[in-house]
Structure 1
């Protein structure tokens, strides 16, 4: 089990979150003091004027394009004339128009215009500051929410580790292990035989049919492979035979199939899938899952394995299902998990009380973050 997602960064995150909230509140207060709507109107006009500068300044200055020079002054004049009468700093925009309505413009004229507009820029900056501080505050709240989820996972892991530490390592887990491993071995062998002896068409049809059973998680075969085996005579051959064919040269393969190119395209590109196709999705595994989960899974496995495996394999699966009714199933499963999952380091952490300390720290950090998010207002 990992030590990741510990609470060490939470104090810094809390401090950043509270500071970001104060900054956002302060920036909003400055905007409210000036009037958000008036500032937004001013900022929009300021942005439009900057666009005019960006578009025309280079060509309208010095010995630039005279046509562009005239066009700029006309657009500037129309822009200033169209400004709202009650626009804050309207006189600044008018002064800029006066400065730039000359027969010849220089870079210093535009510099002077920007200097005149500095109070307007300051007002627009209030909105930018409000938006930036609000965005940071939102981002930090999102980070805090994510850390809470991570701490939830960490707490669950530590609680699980503690429960494993309480398990009886001497419990007779073979009462579960022997029937489960007997079934897993039997179904693995049955599937190997099925894959080796049955036609590729039947095997792939079986795998496709398992899609109706969500707890039996076979990777579905590539469409080009199933299309080939369903529609070409070599589909009646077993999958190992098709793999063997895929390794032949076209001249040799021509003696075995009518369309060597089609086989190479369909089977040759899917060799990894065919080789890896095994009974793993049909096995229970060790340690086993919780009783309720195993009961549901066995219900589906019985329907699936019965389509290809001998009856004695299905009978072994029913024996596995009966294990979930044992009163000591949970205790034996927990003991099995402890034996399999606890390494020497984790056992020492449990013995020393370090796990309990980590769990307490994670719970405290989670509570601090939760309290902070509840106390601090939404952006």
Structure 2
């Protein structure tokens, strides 16, 4: 059995034992004892200084009356009623000392034990809930690890000698071409046009391109400075205000709108328009390429778009997934992973994890939320 499953079973048993201890005495009776014990303990704490020795006589009388009223009002058949009566007898004196208060607390010990049954039950329930959460967390961790290992086994079955160059060459040819096209676009066209590309990308969710900040977008749309290329705009942002006055009408406005957004402009590169290596699964790449064609055609020559169409066409070939799996395997399987697969260590770990997952699932079903 999983350690977490065993801990949950133990926590459940502890709850049953704690609940049984309360039921054996009687839930209502235990609650009454706990309330009375708490109230009397509060009285002892509150009056110990003022009602002892030759202290405040009024406080002494109030204390005596409060204790007598509390004890006399308890049900005759209440468990530990004799403990309360013993405490009352100890405190029913003309003059009280600290020793009397200590003796009263000692006399209340049996009632304190009964009152603790509720705390023990509540603590057992709290520990049970934590044990169940821990089991659920462990189950998620185990399931994630199982997925990793199953993927590792899948990659281990890949044909590592497959001609992955049939994918790599067109993918890398497109990626290199689109990076160069974007570099030229970013360095030569206006910042206004570059940011409008990012605005257009919002209509294509499969292209991971952040939308431009609203204040920056408004500035490049409205200001003559927006007609400058992005690198020039970034240079302006580093100028002193006195130097910037020679290039723009409102240096303060540029500083406020552009200098605070330098990170966005610097990180705006061609990567969202690339395919990457190893490439995605066939359907993912086909749909993403469809969106990319619409965006890439806005800034890249037709020759670059043609290379992207060639990549998209690969996804419809029968051996695309076989070649892609081989590419992923080459990329992700190092010597250690290959040795573990060959020695059967991965299969053994999978068996252990699946058994642990099943035990956790069974425990979580058997022991519900409380």
Please state which band the TM-score falls in when normalised by the shorter chain. 0.7 to 0.9
Give the aligned partner of residue 3 of structure 1.
none
Give the aligned partner of residue 362 of structure 2.
371
Sort the Cα spacing of 1:64 and 1:275 in 2 relative to 1 into closer, same or farther, 3 A.
farther
Give the aligned partner of residue 137 of structure 2.
146
Give the aligned partner of residue 41 of structure 1.
32
Give the aligned partner of residue 243 of structure 2.
252
Distance 2:204 2:53 in 1: 78
1:173 Cα deviation after fit? 1.0
Q: Which stretch shifts more, 199-208 or 96-105?
A: 96-105
- Spell out, residue by residue over 1:342-368, the C-alpha distance to the aligned partner (whole angstroms, 9 max, x if none): 111111111222211221221122223
Give the aligned partner of residue 17 of structure 1.
8
Aligned positions of 1:216-227 closer than 5 A = 216-227=207-218
Give the aligned partner of residue 6 of structure 1.
none
Q: Which stretch shifts more, 69-78 or 187-196?
A: 69-78
Q: CA RMSD in A?
A: 2.8
1:94 Cα deviation after fit? 5.3
Aligned positions of 1:110-121 closer than 5 A = 110-121=101-112
Sort the Cα spacing of 1:71 and 1:166 in 2 relative to 1 into closer, same or farther, 3 A.
same
Q: Which stretch shifts more, 132-141 or 98-107?
A: 98-107
1:73 Cα deviation after fit? 5.3
1:54 Cα deviation after fit? 4.2
Structure 2 gaps, min length 5: none
1:246 Cα deviation after fit? 1.4
Q: Given the alignment, which residue of 123, 133, 152 partners 1:132? A: 123
**Is the aligned partner of 1:205 residue 2:234?**
no
Q: Which stretch shifts more, 200-209 or 47-56?
A: 47-56
1:77 Cα deviation after fit? 5.6
Distance 1:85 1:261 in 2: 85
TM-score between the two structures when normalised by the length of structure 1: 0.86
Sort the Cα spacing of 1:370 and 1:62 in 2 relative to 1 into closer, same or farther, 3 A.
same
**Is the aligned partner of 1:235 residue 2:226?**
yes
Sort the Cα spacing of 1:61 and 1:199 in 2 relative to 1 into closer, same or farther, 3 A.
farther
Structure 1 gaps, min length 5: 1-9
1:336 Cα deviation after fit? 0.3
Q: Which stretch shifts more, 294-303 or 74-83?
A: 74-83
1:191 Cα deviation after fit? 2.1
1:334 Cα deviation after fit? 0.6
| SS of residue in 2 equivalent to 1:212 | coil
Give the aligned partner of residue 5 of structure 1.
none
TM-score between the two structures when normalised by the length of structure 2: 0.88
